[in-house]
């Protein structure tokens, strides 16, 4: 008997449906001929708690730390025992076992740890399914591999689980215990990913809270040229008081200049024209989709992940969603027309986009060299009746399908123009963009990024028709949202101060993974460290105090991002688990030594004071002086406060 162990019931059903013969249900399994398909329910096993290693560890004590298991133990998750019993029974009857976990690090771990824990010693085959539609699963069944090939992936996943346990158990116990000494009654959870994410928000909130605005001044002129009019902006030279971004800090020069400019003659002193061709955005990875869906529809990262799981498992409309890849296998290009026709035919919006697609085009999105265990999110081709989906499901499905459809549209072609004008000895600049060929752009937006400039020629005369001064004010950074925080986690090198580490992290996977980023945000909210205010994510008093009380490195992204690099190296056989875990243990000793109840008490008190302190008064924005049409205010609003 051949036994296939799937990661979850939906995958088991898809595999069974792709097998020849009738399928019948058995206790915790599906049977088709000589093949039995059973399933896990996500992780059936988890790292054992500390008291499984020593009953004394049931009591939390600082003198027990660090807790360092010599031989790692796993224990069944709650409600997993019945399904484990089913798999144990079937393994005893099996002649052949097939591992059918999801095609990622965690998928490799959660099935393989069950197979090993239940004592199977013979070879195991590996089935990789990223699309639940029957033809795709049937193809995958003809391409079974030796599971031994994925042993490095398993070692990396097991190392991640053990490292997370060591880091989280020891630091959470330490800070919870000193929290009690500091007067906080509750668990203070510390994790190798969640805490640096919290640190990003705490530091951003501090920048907003401590921001002191200052005024600056801009001068514009409306110019008459041979074939029209345009607006240009004064570029003050270094003889004026400027900030580090070249903004003018005193008003007197612009007032003086604005008074004498009307009617002044000048010329086009420099002209730069560039013809740009921009290919369509690539198909989505999960994180890229979460960013766009948050911006366009206000959906949280967790909501997008849940929607994608339903589109994948329940509706079978999209391929495997927890992907970090934005490329598609080359073999998908040949069937793309049929796939997209199936996905688009019942929806007016998608149908209209389909009509404009040229399926003879082949973009760089199809690349076997850039596809690993996963490929980008894409429609499966199953006919989609979007009227039967929830609105958010239909919105997300359209985004996924649109980005694949866009690969069959021509590039966006623009002419970008930058012009400089010399008037009364002063330099003014203007820029504009002319769309030569819209290409894929109408699928994404009908808004022009910058209006075109009238035709210009270098040396051409111009005359000032009007001039105006705008009083502006510097603004603090925006608070994080789901979209911007997911993007920050994807591009974590931008938030790293050490130049050498930043260079190292530019090519890494960032903070967290496609499968975990949404859950991290929700965990921080559930634990009272973050709160949502509209679209904004703000740190609570408790979250701010926790970061302030921890060693700085614990709340910064460098360590965990470098961890991901080490885990990737283990998965690619360029590193071993032993040195990685040994380095972590050494690090833990230093971190635990820094646990200080007094520092935590002061942090809690400081955070409480900052939360109740009045915000700085903002200078009101003044209307543009002498302006034909006013500029927009640069004034920052009062930051919202976040209760703990």
In degrees, rounded to 5, the angle at the alpha carbon of residue 524 between the alpha carbons of residues 394 and 187 is 145
Phi, psi of 435 (to 5 degrees): -80, 115
H or E stretch covering 140: helix 134-141
Map 178-199 to HEC letters: HHHHCCCCCCCCCCCCHHHHHH
Q: How far does Cα 456 stand from its chain's mean position?
A: 42
Please give the Cα distance from 220 to 248 (Å, whole number): 13
Distances (CA, A) of 305 to 10, 320, 377: 16, 11, 12
Please give the Cα distance from 400 to 613 (Å, whole number): 45
In degrees, rounded to 5, the angle at the alpha carbon of residue 363 between the alpha carbons of residues 360 and 367 is 115
Please give the Cα distance from 236 to 449 (Å, whole number): 26
Q: How many residues in total does the chain contain?
A: 644
DSSP helix/strand/coil, 309: helix
Please give the Cα distance from 35 to 22 (Å, whole number): 11
For the chain, helix (H) and strand (E) counts, in that order, are: 20, 17
In degrees, rounded to 5, the angle at the alpha carbon of residue 333 between the alpha carbons of residues 328 and 337 is 120
Residues belonging to the active site: 320
Query: What is the secondary structure of 507-535 as a DSSP string?
Result: TS--SS-TTTHHHHHHHHHHTTSEEEETT
Strand pairing class (530-533; 265-278) = unpaired
Q: Nearest-CA neighbor of 354 among 283, 443, 444, 439? A: 443
């Amino acid at each position: 008997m051949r036994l296939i162990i799937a990661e979850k019931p939906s995958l088991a059903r898809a595999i069974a449906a792709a097998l020849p013969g009738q399928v019948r249900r058995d206790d915790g399994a599906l049977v088709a001929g000589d093949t039995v398909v059973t399933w896990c329910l996500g992780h059936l096993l988890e790292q054992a708690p500390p008291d499984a290693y020593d009953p004394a560890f049931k009591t939390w004590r600082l003198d027990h730390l660090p807790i360092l298991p010599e031989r790692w133990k796993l224990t069944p998750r709650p409600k997993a025992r019945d399904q484990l019993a089913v798999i144990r029974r079937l393994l005893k009857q099996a002649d052949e076992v097939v591992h059918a976990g999801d095609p990622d690090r965690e998928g490799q771990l959660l099935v393989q740890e069950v197979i090993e824990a239940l004592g199977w010693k013979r070879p195991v085959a590996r089935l990789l399914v990223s699309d639940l539609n029957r033809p795709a699963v049937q193809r995958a069944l003809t391409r079974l591999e030796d599971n031994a090939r994925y042993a490095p992936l398993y070692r990396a996943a097991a190392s991640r689980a053990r490292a997370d346990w060591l880091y989280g158990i020891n630091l959470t116990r330490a800070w919870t215990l000193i929290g009690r000494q500091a007067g906080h009654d509750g668990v203070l959870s510390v994790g190798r990913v969640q805490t640096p994410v919290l640190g990003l928000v705490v530091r951003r909130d501090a920048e907003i809270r401590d921001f002191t605005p200052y005024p600056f001044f801009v001068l514009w002129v409306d110019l008459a040229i041979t074939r029209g009019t345009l607006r240009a902006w004064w570029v003050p030279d270094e003889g004026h008081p400027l900030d580090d971004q070249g903004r003018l800090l005193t008003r007197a020069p612009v007032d003086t200049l604005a008074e004498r400019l009307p009617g002044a003659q000048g010329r086009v002193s420099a002209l730069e024209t560039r013809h740009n061709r921009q290919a369509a955005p690539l198909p989505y990875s999960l994180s890229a989709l979460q960013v766009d869906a948050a911006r366009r529809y206000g959906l949280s990262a967790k909501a997008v992940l849940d929607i994608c799981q339903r589109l994948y498992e329940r509706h079978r409309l999209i391929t495997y969603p927890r992907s970090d890849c934005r490329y598609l296998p080359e073999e998908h290009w040949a069937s793309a027309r049929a796939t997209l026709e199936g996905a688009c035919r019942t929806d007016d919006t998608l149908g209209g986009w389909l009509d404009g697609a040229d399926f003879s085009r082949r973009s760089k999105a199809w690349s076997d060299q850039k596809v690993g265990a996963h490929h980008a999110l894409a429609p499966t081709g199953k006919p989609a009746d979007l009227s039967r989906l929830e609105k958010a499901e239909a919105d997300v499905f359209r985004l996924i399908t649109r980005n694949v459809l866009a690969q069959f549209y021509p590039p966006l072609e623009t002419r970008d123009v930058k012009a400089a004008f010399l008037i009364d000895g002063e330099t003014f600049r203007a820029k504009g963009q002319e769309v030569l060929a819209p290409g894929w752009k109408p699928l994404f937006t009908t808004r022009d990024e910058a209006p075109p400039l009238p035709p210009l020629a270098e040396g051409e005369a111009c005359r000032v028709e009007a001039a105006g001064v705008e009083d502006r004010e510097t603004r603090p950074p925006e608070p994080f949202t789901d979209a911007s925080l997911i993007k920050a986690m994807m591009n974590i090198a931008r938030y790293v101060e050490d130049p050498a580490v930043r260079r190292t992290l530019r090519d890494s996977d960032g903070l967290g993974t496609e499968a975990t980023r949404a859950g991290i945000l929700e965990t921080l909210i559930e634990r009272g460290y973050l709160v949502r205010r509209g679209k904004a994510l703000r740190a609570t008093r408790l979250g701010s105090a926790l970061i302030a009380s921890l060693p700085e490195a614990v709340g910064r992204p460098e360590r965990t991002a470098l961890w991901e690099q080490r885990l990737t190296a283990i998965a690619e056989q360029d590193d071993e688990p032993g040195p990685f875990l040994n380095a972590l243990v050494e690090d833990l000793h230093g971190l635990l030594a820094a646990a200080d109840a007094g520092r935590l008490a002061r942090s809690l008190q400081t955070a409480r004071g900052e939360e109740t302190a009045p915000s700085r008064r903002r200078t009101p924005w003044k209307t543009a002086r002498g302006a034909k049409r006013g500029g927009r205010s640069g004034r920052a609003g009062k930051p919202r406060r976040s209760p703990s």
